[in-house]
Amino acid sequence: MPTRIIPKHGGYKNLPSYQKTVVIYDLTRIFTSRFLSRGDRAIDQMVQAARSGKQNIIEGSQASATSRKTELKLTNVARTSLEELLEDYRDYIRSHRAIQWHMDSPEATYIRRLGRDRKRLPSGALELARTRKSTVVANIAICLIHQANFLLDQQIRRMETDFVDNGGLTERMY
């Protein structure tokens, strides 16, 4: 079978980072509709940052066929968007004089375990977002964003190595 010029690409739905960002996006939609006042600029900012985290993984995955450089750039944009969203949730907790969970707290440990369970995560996290108080939901989001950021950092390191070793179609053409 002849070698394809454009390699197989677009498997983003199987990426743990993508799956986690879908939950973060849905959780952010619930959080902003439940706890932020209509007309608050933070609603659009937070939803857009969550959406950007998810969508840029999709775009990067699709672009990987022709440019590893673009894939790397867009994946980094996803990571940056999640960092912005993380700070919004931290601001919310601080402005409500609440405590951000320590990474070893029982609550954070529970959410980390839930976050590793691909089958339970979507329904479990979203049920908590619909039923818990605002600062708890913000802390849940923070835990999940940390997990997504960890996964994206690993993905970016892998992409950097692959780019240096192999490049993409565009890079190989030059």
- State pLDDT tens for residues 21-45: 999 999 999 999 999 999 999 999 9
128 touches 136 (CB < 8 A): yes
Best CA proximity match to 62, nearest among 174, 169, 173, 172: 169
Distance between CA atoms of 63 and 79, rounded to whole angstroms? 17
Report, as an integer, the average pLDDT of 106-115: 95
The more confidently predicted of residues 68 and 145 is 145
Best CA proximity match to 18, nearest among 43, 54, 62, 42: 54
pTM here is 0.89
DSSP tag of 39 = T
Q: Where are the beta strands (DSSP E) in 122-166?
A: none
Q: What pLDDT was estimated at residue 5?
A: 46
Report, as an integer, the average pLDDT of 146-152: 97
